[in-house]
Each structure stands twice: as C-alpha cells, then as structure tokens.
Chain A
Amino acid sequence: MSIEVLHVNKSFDTTPIVRDVSVKIETGELFVLLGASGSGKSTLLRLIAGLIELDSGTILLNDRDVTHLSPQQRGTGFVFQNYSLFRHMTVAQNIEFGLSIRKVKRLEREQRVNELLELIELQGYGNRYPAQLSGGQQQRVALARALAYQPNVLLLDEPFGALDVKIRVQLRQNLRAIQQRLGLTAILVTHDQEEAFDIADRIGIIDQGELLEVGAPDQLYRNPTHRFTATFLGTANLLDARRNGTNVYWGDVKIPAPANTEQFSGKPVEVLARPEEVALSCTRERAPGSIIGQGIVDSIAFAGPVLRVTVCLLSHDRKNLQVLLAPSDVRDQNIEVGQEVWVSLKEYHLLATNAE
C-alpha cells in the first residue's frame, strides 16, 4: 500500500499551511515527516487521512485517487498525540470499535482483540478503562485500535510527544518492530530529530508548509541540500565560500572541493562541517584533513562520552565553530580554554547559497 501526495495545497483563512507538497511513500516504508511546530506537518497528515479537505492537489492511496473521499472511505489508521481513546469504553471495546462498526461477529472480534493485546503486550488489560492506564499504555491501545481493522496505511501524529524520554524510546522501537512485522506503510509526524533518525526509512523535512527535501536519515545529515535541513538536523558549522576550479576558497583559505559538486562551480556556496567533522590540533603538522586556519578555544563543556568545544577562528570574522572531541583528543592535543589551536576539517560538504 503506497501513499502518494501530488501538489497538495491547503490554506486556513488566507494563510498557506501546506504548499505544493508532493511525495511518494512506498509500500512497507516508515516515512517520518520532521518539522518544527507550526510547519504544517500535522495538517499534511490530516489531509491524507481526510480529516481536513485540501484546497488543491491529489492524494492516492495504493494508486487509488482518494482526494474527495471521506475519512471513513479512506480507511487509514490514525494515532493521535493525546491518545484520544474513548474513555467511557474499556480497552477491549476501544480496540474492537472499528470491528463492531464493520459488523464483525463477536467471536472473531474477541479473537482479534486478544491478538492485538498480545501484539502491544497488554494481555489481561482488556477490561480496564483508559483512565486506569499510563500514558504509554494508552498510546499502545490507541495503536491497537488503529490496527484492528487492518487499515491500508498507518498515520501517526506525534504519537510519543506526550510521553517521557525513556518510554518514548521504548515505544518507538516497539512501533518500528510492529510496523516491520506487519509490513505496514506508515507516516509518522514528529519534531524530534532523534526519533526520526531512530526509526525512519526516509525522512521528509517540512518547513513553513513546504516539503524541502526527502532522504535517508544519514544522507540528510551528511549531505543536505538545504541550509534549513543542515541547521535543523543536528548542529551545523557553516562557512561562506566560493567554489572555483577544483577548490573551495574563502579569504586566503583554499581547500579541495568535495567530489560531485561541479554544479556549484563559480558560485558562492556554504561549507558545511558537522561538529564531529572538525579537528583541533596543537601543531599544524598534526592537523588531519584540510586546514582552515587557527583559532582560540573559547569553552569546553562536558557532554557525556564527548566534549563539546567552542573555538573562535582568528580569521573569517572571528566566527565560532562547534566541535565534538573525544576526551583522548583533548588530552593528546593539550586543548585548554584560551589556547591557540589549528582548526581543520576531516570532512565537509557544500550547500548552495541562495543569496547571489
């Protein structure tokens, strides 16, 4: 069951919320729609479910045009952030709601409820009421309720947003396992990049209603094409530069251009280096990769297994760079606050600059 969205637009009053979004999600894929709050990601999900009517565009579920069908006719499974269980019904009644609506026989319903309770590991909870369950348990019931009638696709709107971190991590791995076991096509909306990295086959980055780019998590992190993606996913060090010939230049710095960046020839670009791709060395000779100059260590903060170092470049308008270093590197290179160090890039990527 694939999901295809073609040139979908939606405005509330006169404010565009979703702008010309097109994307195809393949069968069995878990697609994560990642964006800040107010980016239009939940609206897009509701448009796919049919809970909101679109202004223009087409939505296909398994190649069937469902653009003008009601949510009932689309048959998607939807999981809401606030669980939205029917609180006057027991867990079992919640789960079998979709089956009783479809007039499925009682014995078959009971059997299916038991299967699902097992799937979400809540056997024996069938007679409880939602108010008697924890948030994590309620969300698992909500998932079971959405799966009971074997929907074409599963749509999840910030399903773990209201839960604390430990349960969130556990639940998303459960969800991932269930999704893969059942071969479900799913879209999950979140603002949590860690969650997206953890479970997504592909991530779509959405900002101000526009789907900026789509790709595998590592691809989007290592080689984003949009500045927004680069800064939204993880920390980004960005340096204005120009690509000429086979090199990238800024000021009196010259480093080799990365492979497959010919399309940027002769244009202003931004060099993107992730904090873990920057190296600090006590001497020029020991600096790995491409040296970009000297800097002064501004601060060193403990961050668990690594140290987060801020270094202030002596050139390039005294720009600050964020660097992640292993404690052993800090020791070997005698890095201390106020010390002068050589700054080099082990790896880097180019981004097109929109300002021409």
Chain B
Amino acid sequence: MREIKPRSPLAFLLIGIAVLYAVILFIAPLVAIIYGAFKDGIDPIIETLTDPSVLHAFEVSLVLALGAVLINTIFGLVTAWVLVRQKFRGRGIFNTLIDIPFVFSPVIAGYAMIVLFGRGGWLAPPIFPIVFALPGILLAKTFVSLPFVAREVQPVLDSISPEPEDAAYTIGASRWATFRRVILPELWTALLYGIVLTFARAVGEFGAVSVVGGNIEGYTETATSFVFRALNDRNSTGAYVVSLILCLVSVLILFLMNLLRRRMVVSRG
C-alpha cells in the first residue's frame, strides 16, 4: 500500500481546477438540459414524445446507428485481423488511414460524400439515391464511427499468444472453428467496448449526417438534427426533451463502458 500523505495546497488547487472544469463542461449543461425539459411541466414533454416527426427522428437515429454498428463490427474485426496477422506492403499507411474519421471534420466528410455519391458524382448509384436519403445517413454514421472496433480489437488480438490457436489446429479444429471458439472469446470484451463506442458516436453524429441527409423532416431527420431544427424554430422544450433522452442514452453508454473496462482489467490481470 502506498502511504497517504497530507495533501499540499498545490494538490488542493489541482483537484479544484479538475472538478471545476468537469462541472462547467459536463455537469452544468446536463443540469441545464434537465431543467429546460421540465420547466414547463410534463405536458410539453408528452407532446414532444408523441410527435410523429420526433419518433421518426429517433427511429432513424437508432436504426441507422445499429446499421453502422453492424457494418463497423464486421469491417473492424477484419481490419484488426489484417493489421495484426498479415504483412503486406502499405500496411503502415493503411494502419494510419484507419484513423481518418477521427481527424476529419464530419462536415467535410459529408461534403465529400455528396461530391462522390450525389447527382453526377463518380460513384452515384443508378438505382436508389444515397445523398439526401437514408443510405447517405447510414454511410455518414458508418464513416464517423469506423475506427472504434478496429482500434479496440487490434491491441488485444496482437497480445494473444499464438499457441492456443496452434493447439486448436493440432486438435483438429478448422480455422473458422478456431476463430469462433478459441480467439473470439478472448476478444469479446474489447469487441463489446468497441461496439458501444461505435454506437455512441453513430447516434450522436450531427455534422456529416445533416450535410449528407439534408435534414428532411419525417424522412432524413435524425434526433440530433431535430434538436438543431427545434432550436431554430424556438421550440425550446422539444429541443430540451430530445436532448435529455440523448443524454440519458449517453450516460447509459458511459456506465456500460465503465463496466466493460473493469472486465477488461480483470481478464487481463
């Protein structure tokens, strides 16, 4: 055990700064949102939550975020696998490129998608529209949340000893059976963590989604773009209520992450 020393004034100052920072940046906004949502009583809340366009916006956010999670889980696993297990030319560059969604402004990413997939774009689809339609939103959400699964799984996969895998092969397990029964169980926690992060990012995205989707009410409008529109329309209760629900989702995700992180520490210790 480390000895606990009496705290110095400097330590008090640093703790104070950290707490103040958290209060101003995280806690105060949360309190403001809760206050805003309830300040006119329960009726406007019920009204907002029964508004078909609000429900539709939530549905678009949720379903397409889950779609992005599905795509990025598969893509992320494959990417992590390739980066860890395959040696090929350009692997280093590929490894760096994975992080592009972290550093790109989502608005620019959305604009690039319009250029690519919009009318007259190089990859404009002939059958159904992507831009200003739901596929575009899925694409945008997928893009901005792309690195999480790959980046969570990659180090764990890298640290797994090759011997249990070799053991499974000698015992007679096929490559697929070995992956499913020997490797995947080792990756579960990291994979879930990556999935949760992916979902959080995909649900919360606004910039790329509003550029590609166009925020068409009752069609491509998502929960976050509803908040934006409600603010413009001076429908502050609607904005507060939807924000509050999104916040609750975030808090839930936060707890889930904390839980998973503890499991990760336990399984690695």
Contact = CB atoms under 8 A, between A and B. Distances in A.
Interface range on chain A: under 10, 10 to 19, 20 to 34, or 35 or more?
20 to 34
B6 interface: no
A70 B186 contact: no
A102 B172 contact: yes
Given A82-B161, A88-B186, A97 B168 contact: yes
Interface string B172-206: 11100100011001100000000000000000000
A85 B164 contact: yes
A84 B173 contact: no
B171 A97 contact: yes
A101 interface: yes
Interface string A69-84: 0111011111010101
A72 B173 CA distance: 6
A326 interface: no
B102 to A, nearest CB: 31
Interface string B125-164: 0000000000000000000000000000000000001011
Interface residues of B, number: 17
Which of A86, A102, A149, A155 has most B Cβ within 10 Å? A86
B64 to A, nearest CB: 33
A49 interface: yes
B196 to A, nearest CB: 21
B166 interface: yes
Given A86-B182, A88-B185, A101 B171 contact: yes
A88 B169 CA distance: 17
A51 B166 contact: yes
A85 B171 CA distance: 12
B174 A72 contact: yes
A74 B167 CA distance: 13
A77 B170 contact: yes
Contact of A70 (B161, B168, B169, B177): B169
A78 B167 contact: yes
B172 A72 contact: yes
Contacts of A72: 169-170, 172-174
A146 interface: yes
A49 B170 contact: yes
Contacts of A102: 172
Interface in A82-138: 82, 84-88, 97-98, 101-102
A78 B186 CA distance: 21
Contacts of B164: 84-87
Given A71-B166, A76-B170, A84-B164, 20 more contacts: A46-B166, A49-B170, A70-B169, A71-B169, A72-B170, A72-B172, A78-B166, A78-B167, A80-B163, A80-B166, A84-B163, A84-B166, A85-B164, A86-B168, A87-B164, A97-B171, A101-B171, A101-B177, A149-B171, A155-B170
